[in-house]
A and B are shown apart, each in its own frame.
Chain A
Amino acid sequence: MTAATSRQDDERIWIEQARQGDHAAFAHIVQAYQRPVYNLCYRMLGNQVEAEDAAQETFLRAYNNLHRYDPNRKFLNWILSIASNHSIDRLRRKRHIQVSLEDAPFAEQLRSHDEPLQARVERKEKADAIQHWVDQLSPNYRTPLILLYWYDYSYEEIAETLKLSVPAVKSRLHRARKQVAELMLAEQATRSAPTPAPISV
């Protein structure tokens, strides 16, 4: 038996036990899926605290709706669709307040001296830029982009997770990429604009 099959079997058992109210079984599910769920929430919401809250709420909703889960469907797709819907709801409910990106984890990275400061600053700037671009997109464009790049989902899988048609996914992905490209070009144009000459008195 392969490791993947064994894991799927374990999952099936955990889901069945959790459906019957077994909290310990659900804890296994949380441990198995917390990283992809948290990452989706983080990429959607743009900050650590919001992402933690959203990820916890996602698992709570999943627990309450386990009886609706269709075992023929991939569990990851199902839970990511809950996370995506919940993150979109959050974004719509209140205007997202941009908290400093990377928050605590990056602060810890900055404190570590394993990497030269210049390289760490560059990496932080790059990570900030990525999240900044993603934050500029409307939630409808943001989710397909996140599923494509961070989950390696095919267009069909994105369509299944978001309950969209494949042409709609194509269109949203293209628009998302184009919007990010526009942002990047605008930033480059701003950076390359000549600085005003000093005024001579």
Chain B
Amino acid sequence: MQQTTHDCDALLGQLSLCLDKLLPEADCAHVHAELAQCPTCQAFYRAMLQVDQTLRAAPQKAPAYDMSAAVLALIAQREKRQKRALGFTLLLSGAMSLVPTLVVILSIIIAFWTTTNPGILQTGVDVIISLVNVIRALVLTFGVLGNAISPWILPTLAALVSVLLLFLTIVWARKIVPAPSPARV
């Protein structure tokens, strides 16, 4: 097959504009006069003309069925999935905020029991008490650190951790709900 040169390319570019009636007739006549002197360009232009005619005559494709029902089913499926994801997120956020509350309530109950009934629950709650002591030690350490740096450090850290937990919950909730594939009719 013949190869076009840089000049041929420029000429064919102008012929392309002539095909779309974007160049004035006088300019197109000049371009066609140049074309008559280049056999390579002529071969390309003939092919371009044939392509142009074939494409202009090609019909628009129509879908084999009315897509509206399938699209609406997809939308309903997607909305259901979003609602489910929101439900999961709220549930997990609630559960996550419930855990520290339960820990605090449990600590208070244990402290109350151990002070009012030192003999009865002593053995059963030994493990829990040591756990609570570990938590207390951690809280104190953070408290000391917090006092040394700023009185707002603990609430800020707590808020950041909450936001991070919430974000992770949302990401997780989005992951666990599978994306629907386009419906077929």
A and B pair up:
yes
Chain A residues engaging chain B, CB cutoff 8 angstroms = 23, 26-28, 30-31, 34-36, 38-39, 42-43, 48, 51-53, 55-57, 59-60, 63-64, 104-105, 126-127, 129-130, 133, 145, 148-150, 155, 170-171, 173-174, 177-178, 180-182, 184-186, 188-189
Interface of B, helix, strand, loop or mixed by DSSP: helix
| Residue pair A130, B58 in contact (C-beta under 8 Å) | yes
Q: Which residues of B contact A178 (CB under 8 A)?
A: 4, 9, 12, 16, 44, 48
Chain B residue with Cβ nearest A58:
B71
Q: Does B64 contact A (CB under 8 A)?
A: yes
Which of B30-38, B49-57, B88-96, B163-171 is near enough to bind chain A?
B49-57
Q: Is B67 an interface residue (CB 8 A)?
A: yes
Please measure, in the bound complex, the distance between the C-alpha atom of A64 and the C-alpha atom of B74, giving whole angstroms: 11
Contact of B64 with A27 in the complex, beta carbons under 8 Å: no
Give the size of the chain B interface in residues (CB under 8 angstroms): 42
- A173 vs B56: C-alpha distance when bound (angstroms): 14
Main secondary structure of the interface of A (DSSP, over half): helix
Interface residues of B, Cβ cutoff 8 Å to A: 1-2, 4, 9, 12-13, 16-17, 19-20, 22, 43-44, 47-48, 50-52, 54-56, 58, 60-64, 66-72, 74-76, 78, 181-184
Given the complex, which residues of A lie within 8 Å of B56, measured CB to CB?
149
A130 CA to B181 CA, complexed, in Å: 30
